Amino acid sequence: MTSIKPCLWFDNRIDEAVEFYTKTFKNAKVTNITRAAPGQPAFTAEFELEDQKFMALGGNPRFQFTESVSFFVTCADQAEVDHFWNTMTADGGEESQCGWLKDRFGLSWQIVPKQIFETVMGPDRAGAQRAMQAMMGMRKLVVADLQKAYAGG
């Protein structure tokens, strides 16, 4: 059976990264860890976040993550946006524009409330344009502000 699983290259920080991601997402689990020897850092790890399978590979610092690849997290509400935003920007994470951030490992994420589809991508073109302008001025997306802009307020 053909499948696709993103493989993430970490600078010998697999154990730390996998623990961080599996604690950040409610529906998460580690499915396999390979070590060269007991007590050594992980060489590979397989884990799942919200039913998406990932592989982590231990390497050296030669390759780094860039914003050209990001993971899009659709959140149910502002509370979820706040949870992911606050957790992923803590301890060395970096805020960016329009709901984008980098976590402390340098991996890019888009933390987006489902309400984006009703506002920025909504059927009222003028409202969508206002919501887009509001979003362009945000770092973390704020549902109430997007809805207010869409409604014309």
Give the domain CATH number at 147.
3.10.180.10
Residues 132 and 74 placed together within one structural domain of the fold: yes
Q: How many domains does the chain have?
A: 2
- Strand boundaries in 42-143, DSSP class E: 42-49, 52-58, 70-75, 94-95, 100-102, 108-113
Q: Are residues 56 and 87 in the same domain?
A: no
Tell how strand 52-58 and strand 7-10 pair up. parallel
Distance CA 105, CA 52 (A): 19
Say what the pLDDT of residue 94 is. Answer: 97
Domain boundary among 31, 61, 91: 61
pLDDT in tens, 30-67: 999 999 899 898 999 999 999 999 999 988 788 889 99
pLDDT of 113 strictly over 90: yes
**Whole-number pLDDT of residue 1:** 85
pLDDT at 12: 83
Mean residue pLDDT of the chain comes to 95
pLDDT at res. 20? 98
- The number of CA neighbours under 13 Å toward the Cβ of 49 is 20
The tens digit of pLDDT for each residue in 6-34 reads 999 998 899 999 999 999 999 999 999 99
